[in-house]
Amino acid sequence: MAYRRTNGILTNDAAAPEAEADYIVASAIVGHSIQQIKAGVDVQFSMEPTDEDPKPEKWETEWGKLQQAAQKIGELAAKEVGPDSHRVKAGTAVDHGVGAVIVGIYGLAGHEKPTAADIRHPDNNLSPKGAVLYDKIKQHDRDPDYQYIGRGAYTGFVDNPNTVGDTDPVGPLSSARFHVSDLGHGGTSDTAFEGWYPRWLPPENSNLWDARVRRDQDQHDRIGWGIIGGNLAGLAPDDQEPVLGTSNRADQITAIMHDEQGMVFNDESGDRDVKGYTHGMIQAIYKAYHLGPACTPYEITVGRQTTKLASCFACTLFMTATAYPPTSTHLGSAESWVPLYEPYKPSGTPHKERIVINDLNARFAEYCDTVLRSGLKALDGDVIADRYNGCRANLRHTLGEAYDPENRVAVSIFLDALTVHSKELSRVRRVLGLDQDHI
């Protein structure tokens, strides 16, 4: 089964996939909020408090937008769950500081939510070996030869307090870029892609490729789908940053991420097909689950460009689905986010790791279906901007009547939506009619 070569994510019509992506992600955000409230959990979407100091006016504007969106999502959730239910609110994450972390809390093993002091100083709770690894990651905070240190640089690691068997912590696990195969078309394992609905790739003649044609090059010389900054291929490099021998802004961004900031690119396949990015926390969760319930996944911000001590929404969805909810969530951009499809940096038991990946991905796929259906129900024609009415009908049709574990539609179209890059807060505000900016 090859990629879905359609003009839109949900249909083959010429309708803008940007609107479809907005509606899909907004449905997931609203649906996730409803599901959490049903489970008795308050929902908070956080901003980074240290952002207020350098730009107080911008911070106040964004804070107002986040509060307004949270209130609206809460009202929709109350309709589904009841007026006396838990709430959705805007908040702030724990203050950033060198060494502060996000934690994946495995409540099924009795792990308690960490305090703000624990987040700022996780070494107080780490095993001796884990403390050594944590300190090493901190000490290499600016070292691209050790870990990725650019925008969105969150490094995952796993504390391992086991006293028998495998007792070593795991890390650093930096965000990395992957080639996303033709799901269902095979891999290194017969079971690697079982049940996946094929991923979306615009047709060769789609105008979605226009912005991805390299500057002053033939129209077929394009930046691959999903690559961060790929829609800037027609622009000249930014002379305020290292040019690194590139002829356009898109390739410059890629070169800086790889050559200057240390991101690892895996299975490149040139600029063909679809690329995705797996964050450090997600890699850590697979490892923690593999090593046992006593192990804890962490994510630490490194470099100079990332200070949010909160997980992106895509990470939050995966973490919640796999029973490792994050300590905080933000509604920034989860550009071309993907889970692992196969083991990355495998241990001595890659077969067992593949089983873990398949198991956790199955949970993620089912949760994606749950939240999309829940959000779809809440985001009806009475509450959404008119331009999204067609998206609602098409999402309902694409999902079908019920979840099918042998054909995981919801998870694939959610990941497809993330290849159309935008901030998640902007998406949900546009769908709810709170912003009138063009998509």
Q: Sorting pLDDT into bands at 50, 70 and 90, what band is 347?
A: confident
Q: Sorting pLDDT into bands at 50, 70 and 90, what band is 183?
A: low
pLDDT of residue 53: 65
Q: Which residue has the higher pLDDT, 435 or 27?
A: 27
Q: Quick one: average pLDDT of 211-222?
A: 93
Q: Quick one: average pLDDT of 408-433?
A: 97
Q: Which residues contact 436 (CB under 8 A, 6 or more apart)?
A: none
Per the CB < 8 A criterion, the answer to whether 128 and 336 are in contact is: no
pLDDT of residue 45: 98
In this predicted structure, the answer to whether residue 436 has a pLDDT above a threshold of 80 is no
Q: Which residues contact 110 (CB under 8 A, 6 or more apart)?
A: none
Cα 222 to Cα 389: distance, rounded to the nearest angstrom = 33
Per residue in 356-383, pLDDT (tens digit) is 999 999 999 999 999 999 999 999 989 9
In this predicted structure, the answer to whether residue 390 has a pLDDT above a threshold of 70 is yes
pLDDT of residue 85: 73
pLDDT of residue 270: 72
Per residue in 68-94, pLDDT (tens digit) is 999 999 999 999 998 877 799 999 999
pLDDT of residue 190: 47
Q: Which residue has the higher pLDDT, 123 or 52?
A: 123
DSSP bridge pairs for 264:
176
In this predicted structure, the answer to whether residue 185 has a pLDDT above a threshold of 60 is no
In this predicted structure, the answer to whether residue 309 has a pLDDT above a threshold of 90 is yes
Domains of the chain: which residue ranges?
A: 17-179+277-431
Per residue in 236-245, pLDDT (tens digit) is 999 999 999 9
- pTM of the full structure: 0.96
> Can you state the angle between helices 313-321 and 350-378, rounded to 10 degrees?
110
Per residue in 136-159, pLDDT (tens digit) is 999 999 999 999 999 999 999 999
pLDDT of residue 188: 42
Of 43-52, 199-208, 277-286, 405-414, least confident by mean pLDDT is 43-52
pLDDT of residue 187: 43
Per residue in 89-146, pLDDT (tens digit) is 999 999 888 899 999 999 999 999 999 999 999 999 999 999 999 999 999 999 999 9
Please provide the average confidence, as pLDDT, over all residues in the chain.
Answer: 92
pLDDT of residue 184: 54
The percentage of residues in the chain with a pLDDT greater than 70, rounded to a whole number, is 94
pLDDT of residue 191: 54
The tally of CA atoms less than 13 A away on the side-chain side of residue 43 is 32
Cα 67 to Cα 57: distance, rounded to the nearest angstrom = 15
Question: Which of 332, 151, 335 has the alpha carbon at shortest distance from 228?
Answer: 335
DSSP 50-73: GGGTT-HHHHHHHHHHHHHHHHHH
Q: Quick one: average pLDDT of 190-206?
A: 82
Q: Which residues contact 270 (CB under 8 A, 6 or more apart)?
A: 224
Q: Quick one: average pLDDT of 322-346?
A: 95
In this predicted structure, the answer to whether residue 216 has a pLDDT above a threshold of 50 is yes
In this predicted structure, the answer to whether residue 279 has a pLDDT above a threshold of 80 is yes
pLDDT of residue 274: 94
Q: Quick one: average pLDDT of 382-401?
A: 95
Q: Quick one: average pLDDT of 305-316?
A: 94
Tokens representing 279 are: 């964050």
The tally of CA atoms less than 13 A away on the side-chain side of residue 39 is 13
In this predicted structure, the answer to whether residue 189 has a pLDDT above a threshold of 60 is no
